[in-house]
Structure 1
Amino acid sequence: MKILLVEDDPTAAYILEQELSTHHYTVEIIADGQLGLELARTFHYDLLVLDIILPNLDGISICRQLRSQGLQMPILLLSAKESSSDRVMGLEAGADDYVVKPYELPELIARIQALLRRGNSTLNTVLTWEKLQFYPDACQVTYSGSLLHLTPKEYSILELLLRNPRRIYSRSAILDHIWPSGEFPTEEAVSTQIKGLRQKLKGAGMTVNLIDTVYGLGYRLKAPPEDLSSAKMSQEKTEPVKTRSHSAPITPADKLQAEAKVQAVLQQVWEHFKESLPSRMMLFEQAIAQLSTGTLELELRLSAQAEAHRLIGSLGSFGLPKGSEVALQIEQLLRLESLGKNEAQLLRYLLEQLKEIVKDKPTTTATASDLKMGLSRLLVVDDDAILTEQIEREALNWGFEVKVATNPTVARRSISSHPPDVIVLDLTFSDTKENGLTLLAELAQRTPRIPTLVLTARNQLSDRVEVARLGGNVFLEKPISSEEIIKAVTQELNRNQKPEAKILIVDDDFQVLAAVSTLLTPWGFQVKTLVDPQQFWETLAATAPDLLILDIEMPDFSGIELCQVVRSDPRWSDLPVLFLSGHNDPEIVHQVFAVGADDYIQKPIIGPELIARILNRLERTRILHRFTEIDELTGTATRRKSIRDLEKLIRFAECQNQPLCLITIDLDHFKHINDQHGHTVGDSVLGLFGERLKQFFRSEDIVARWGGEEFVLGLYAMTREKGAKRLTDFLKIWCQQEFTDGNNQTFRVTFSAGVAEYSQDGTKLPELYRAADAALYQAKAMGRNRVLVSNMGSTHKVESL
């Protein structure tokens, strides 16, 4: 198939061309919009991929002109513009799909393939799976010739999976594909529809489960039964419906080779791209220099803006999404109507960020071997050839590298040469009298431990107790499906992933430091040791550990004194602190916990106990941070975290002599929404509001939920007037969002807001909050649905709906 790619960023275009070539597509690349239009008019293409911002003619105009002339080839638009209004404009111009830069290559390829399938449908088709037949044109589904009566949602889910047989869809992805944007069901709605679909298929006589649940990921179409020919899975000719066949399945080896080829090409392109970076950065430097003096020329501004736009796609293609995000911020900054010294400083900050991101990118080239080594290694110790083959096939689909050992002796050799990440172990073997429990006992002595799942037909309590004593992680009883085995393996492997954590150990005994460091390093910890307590404060700041281990008795400063210092500083008040000591005096133990220690371990150190306590403490800290830093419903920062971040920004604004805009927001009549439409709908409103705020404002801005329907924003280097204008722009967009409850009642939601500024309205966070909150309540008193600036007596109002 032939694809015309109109893209003025040569790097992004070349990378996409190489990826499409591995899928056997013919790609023509044009950098000029007007020339792209002429080629699309003159020659046949199966698909047109258009960037929106192009020289001479933009992608939207190309799309409109082609559709006005009756040309119907599929069109996919690429753009860094991600607002709903931009997407609507592109789709209304006649585009079939709209992908936001930076994009994930696998997703973009999947979308291109879907458009090509739809665009080449001159023949009617029927999708088949065993005895199931799906007629898209007739909107009918049959099994063994009998008509199935499906709900519209069941029908749509089935079509989605049949048209994309190798793709895994999360429940949220299915919601996005199937449900209208005005509806806000929970993910359980997907589970309910799939359950109903499975029951109807089973009732029609289907003996296998058509839809696989991929643990932790979502749903996908089950591979056809092994005894079916490849033609059975293809789209067969029927009367009166004609068909076309699927392409040959891609094996894991094919996928690895294709990925390796793309990675090799990416590495070559990256080297060339790096050579061009100094001139690209110089363009931004020139813009900053002119902007600092208030003399930014229009031509330079437009050139820098266009360069930032190109970098969004290029950096995303190289696997640098953070770089794309910064480039997008630079582009948005350069698009502002008025630019001055404050914007020059922010542009300088963003440029330094961009340089750091690019500098830190690895330069090694991935090979097929490297890619394979990136897979989790699974060792299956079982002599059941049929079951191990099924496990191997299922495990490959889940991204495992699988090795099979038919007895414990072979398993020992495999573990010695290539230690696996996880083991599935049977307890009995036909060719040896050795019991699997012997191998399990040996595995219990390894450091670090390899998660081991015992798989056996022996379901005796004594076996279960012995497996537990020997450290077996999971006990699986035969008979069991390969899918259930791999699901358990994945769950256990995720639970036993090596922790990525930094640990600082302070002890004046070199032998203790060496012993503890040797014990912790194999577990994946980054260990920093310190023998001189005099250097503690500098080392703590430089290391920024996730956990601190202290001895009690040390020269100059005791561990108890160091713990007191840590707990008295807000930056380290939540840092987990463990004490190692030879003391067992109850008074000392009491003193240790009184100064804020989290745990106390008596010397001599017992390795497994120390590891277990560290892992426990880190896991609790991780869970605590999750609930104390991120609001689960809205995805925004919590009140506690945002207060810390806002106070840092205030200190930074003071040092840099910059403004800081603090905004308080309250959704109007929210109690009425909960009372009339239900709390579930109310939660949907809050969730979407938090998501939209994060999308609209800069990534460095603070977006937080302070409770109920109250939100707080912190905008660095922005005055209250500019902050109020930006929030008013958001209010105009938000007011157009429609919600629908369970009774199909449609409604919209407005908000009121107050805006304050450091240092005009105060120099401390409580002062700024009181000023913004006073403006908020004044906005409510004036009729709501508006943004009011503190102490200014004027509002930026949007008429009530």
Structure 2
Amino acid sequence: MTIPRSMGELYFEFRRGAARQLEEIKAVVGVLADPEKRPDALEEGRRLARALAASAETHGFPAASLAARELELAFQGGQQQAGLPRADDLTLLVDDLGNALMQLPQLSLSRPGASPAHQVLLVSDDPSLHERLAGASQLRRLTFHWAATLNAALGTIELVRPDSIILDLAMQEGHAAVEMLHLLRREHLQVPVLILQERPSLQCRIEAAKLGSCRFTARDQKADAILSKILMRESRLTPGVSKILAIDDDPVFLGLIEKYLATQDLAVTCLTDPADFLEALETSAPDLIILDWEMPGINGVELCRVLRAEPEWAQTPVFFVTSRKDPASLQEIYAAGADDYITKPPIPEEFVTRVVNRLRRASTYRHLSESDWLTGIANRRRASQVVEKYLALASRQSQPLSCALLDLDYFKIVNDQHGHAGGDRVLCRLAELLRTEMRTEDVVARWGGEEFLICAYDTTADKLARRLEQLLAKLREEVFQGGSREFRVTFSAGVAEYPAHGTTFSELLRAADEALYVAKNKGRNCVVAADRQSGSKTELMSGSEHSERL
């Protein structure tokens, strides 16, 4: 099994496969006149057309993909008794597909100026799994690719270089999946791989773990849960966001630490005076701390005890670097709250490996404890911590800070009429809109149920209200699917500003909640700033009208 090395090889490989599939579709059309063979032929035609549509889209043939989709719908209509498609009509569709396949490929995968979407490749021969994941990927604005065979997957990987791969071991070629992973690693393609299997064997897990960046999950999970695991893994395995604080009175040793960790693209803050430890904690907000034991004035054990006494830093990993190796000394550092120790002078490879592994595990635990399980945005606990820090900064810098509480309108009706799966899609989509429309530094969190919190530093209430009104206008245009029915949603929001409406987080929340109450009394579907309730409302429909449309 080899990866094609040129775009030309990929092009001709696709063309050869597409030509075979086209001939098979023609053969299916030829037997539709036989009533006994018709049901199986319609199903086979639909399967072939769907596979060709996905493959054509991946390889840069949008017109061919569209023609194949039309064929798929025609076969599907025959299955659903919507009327057997006429042979002449099918022949014309097949001819259109053949002509589209003769065009040159269009390999531009993103719009000019658009931010690149996360590319996900599903390797599976199960069309129903593809349908579930492709639908969920649209909600999350992912670029989704499908390969029904391992050879097709290798070609797609070379063509689009996906950010993540979902590998289905239940496919007929599942036994060769580990071989494909070995090949990817030999080609130095460190793509995170999520492996779907009913009951992964221990040996298969061991082989996959050797290759790195692989993870198993149950195949029968909801599509949103599977995609969340892919996105969660990517976010927490990004080393560039990790920050390290190193304290040692020896600047030469600190220089070595910086040199060792430079290969990992980590942000390292070095400190020679332990008296500046607390200030450095606040300014650098480290993900891992490296402490020397013996320092003048304050030693590392004392600093570790101070750190563990603070709830905010109680879970931050602490490494000791020391020349001591006796059991009593090791017992003392662990009793103080250390996670690990490294003897001086450290072996560079061992030092880096242990630090990076500890960072990854800490990042996993932090993500699980700080993120909302459904939407992936911050949870209430994490949001409260960040807002408190922003308030302290706003006080020191005399800057405004605004908080908003946002509540989906008539969300109970959404759940009652469209099921909790429909409600979950709404929550995820709104979270995605908030994440993309708000600034990177803004706090976006699920506050509870259908309620969200937004906090924006250096932003007035009126300015945040205008941004939320723009977001509300975008949400109004979103169409959601609930079973066989389409529906739309809106939200109401209240905004409060520091220090005009409160100087503490609880006071701001109370003011924002009161403004939210005013918005709901005005008929919902609007944004209201505290003490400026008139003029902030944007009309779409009355509450009763919205209820009827749900």
Judge conservation of contact 1:498–1:523 (CA < 8 Å) in 2.
no
Pair 1:507–1:657, CA change in 2 (3 A): closer
Aligned residue for 1:642? 383
Amino acid at match of 1:757: E
- Measured against aligned partners, the alpha-carbon deviations of 1:9-39 in whole angstroms (never above 9, x if no partner) come to xxxxxxxxxxxxxx9xxxxxxxxxxxxxxxx
Aligned residue for 1:579? 320
Judge conservation of contact 1:663–1:755 (CA < 8 Å) in 2.
yes
Aligned residue for 1:762? 502
Aligned residue for 2:21? 132
Pair 1:722–1:616, CA change in 2 (3 A): closer
1:654 shift after superposition: 3.7
Paired positions, count: 406
Aligned residue for 2:492? 752
Q: Identity of aligned pairs, percent?
A: 36
Matches within 5 A, 1:588-599: 589=330, 591-593=332-334, 595-599=336-340
- Tell me, in whole angstroms, the C-alpha distance in 1 between the residues paired with 2:463 and 2:157: 54
Pair 1:775–1:503, CA change in 2 (3 A): closer
Aligned residue for 1:704? 445
Query: Normalized against structure 1, the TM-score is what?
Result: 0.40
1:571 shift after superposition: 7.6
Report the secondary structure of 2:378's partner residue.
Answer: coil
Aligned residue for 2:195? none
Aligned residue for 1:555? 296
Pair 1:549–1:128, CA change in 2 (3 A): closer
- Tell me, in whole angstroms, the C-alpha distance in 2 between the residues paired with 1:247 and 1:779: 55
Amino acid at match of 2:53: L
Report the secondary structure of 1:763's partner residue.
Answer: coil
User: In the alignment, does 2:354 pair up with 1:621?
Assistant: no
- Tell me, in whole angstroms, the C-alpha distance in 1 between the residues paired with 2:46 and 2:376: 28
1:669 shift after superposition: 3.4
Aligned residue for 2:424? 683
1:576 shift after superposition: 2.3
Judge conservation of contact 2:409–2:489 (CA < 8 Å) in 1.
yes
Judge conservation of contact 1:133–1:141 (CA < 8 Å) in 2.
yes
Higher helix share: 2
Judge conservation of contact 1:153–1:178 (CA < 8 Å) in 2.
no
Range with greater deviation from structure 2 (514-523 or 656-665): 514-523
Query: Normalized against structure 2, the TM-score is what?
Result: 0.55
Amino acid at match of 2:367: R
Aligned residue for 1:149? 42
- Measured against aligned partners, the alpha-carbon deviations of 1:414-455 in whole angstroms (never above 9, x if no partner) come to xxxxxx99559xxxxxxxxxxxxxxxxxxxxxxxxx9xxxxx
Aligned residue for 1:73? none
Pair 1:671–1:504, CA change in 2 (3 A): same
- Tell me, in whole angstroms, the C-alpha distance in 1 between the residues paired with 2:408 and 2:461: 20
Q: CA RMSD in A?
A: 5.7
Pair 1:689–1:543, CA change in 2 (3 A): closer
- Tell me, in whole angstroms, the C-alpha distance in 2 between the residues paired with 1:532 and 1:144: 80
User: In the alignment, does 2:516 pair up with 1:776?
Assistant: yes
- Measured against aligned partners, the alpha-carbon deviations of 1:620-639 in whole angstroms (never above 9, x if no partner) come to 12223433455453343333
Aligned residue for 2:59? 166
Any gaps of 5 or more consecutive residues in structure 2?
1-6, 8-14, 33-40, 77-93, 118-150, 163-182, 191-202, 213-233
Pair 1:242–1:776, CA change in 2 (3 A): closer
Judge conservation of contact 2:59–2:159 (CA < 8 Å) in 1.
no
Report the secondary structure of 1:129's partner residue.
Answer: helix
1:166 shift after superposition: 2.6
Report the secondary structure of 1:665's partner residue.
Answer: strand
Matches within 5 A, 1:117-266: 129-133=18-22, 142=27, 148-150=41-43, 154=47, 157-161=50-54, 163-164=56-57, 166-167=59-60, 243=99, 246=102
Report the secondary structure of 1:768's partner residue.
Answer: helix
- Tell me, in whole angstroms, the C-alpha distance in 1 between the residues paired with 2:276 and 2:97: 80
Amino acid at match of 1:166: H
Amino acid at match of 1:133: L
- Tell me, in whole angstroms, the C-alpha distance in 2 between the residues paired with 1:725 and 1:395: 43
1:514 shift after superposition: 7.4
Asked which structure has the greater RCO (Cα within 8 Å, sep 6+), the reply is 2
- Measured against aligned partners, the alpha-carbon deviations of 1:576-622 in whole angstroms (never above 9, x if no partner) come to 21123355676655553454433344668576764553233111122
Amino acid at match of 1:129: A
Judge conservation of contact 2:247–2:272 (CA < 8 Å) in 1.
yes
User: In the alignment, does 2:537 pair up with 1:796?
Assistant: yes
- Measured against aligned partners, the alpha-carbon deviations of 1:38-73 in whole angstroms (never above 9, x if no partner) come to xxxxxxxxxxxxxxxxxxxxxxxxxxxxxxxxxxxx
Amino acid at match of 1:622: S
- Tell me, in whole angstroms, the C-alpha distance in 2 between the residues paired with 1:498 and 1:154: 38
Aligned residue for 1:667? 408
Judge conservation of contact 2:394–2:401 (CA < 8 Å) in 1.
yes
Amino acid at match of 1:623: T
1:546 shift after superposition: 4.0
Pair 1:641–1:584, CA change in 2 (3 A): same
Report the secondary structure of 1:131's partner residue.
Answer: helix
Any gaps of 5 or more consecutive residues in structure 1?
1-22, 24-125, 180-192, 198-237, 259-311, 322-388, 401-419, 425-449, 451-463, 475-493
- Tell me, in whole angstroms, the C-alpha distance in 1 between the residues paired with 2:290 and 2:506: 36
Aligned residue for 2:219? none
Judge conservation of contact 1:133–1:143 (CA < 8 Å) in 2.
no
- Tell me, in whole angstroms, the C-alpha distance in 2 between the residues paired with 1:542 and 1:797: 41
Report the secondary structure of 2:22's partner residue.
Answer: strand
Pair 1:141–1:773, CA change in 2 (3 A): farther
- Measured against aligned partners, the alpha-carbon deviations of 1:219-264 in whole angstroms (never above 9, x if no partner) come to xxxxxxxxxxxxxxxxxxx9999847747899xxxx9xx9xxxxxx
Aligned residue for 1:692? 433
- Tell me, in whole angstroms, the C-alpha distance in 2 between the residues paired with 1:133 and 1:793: 63
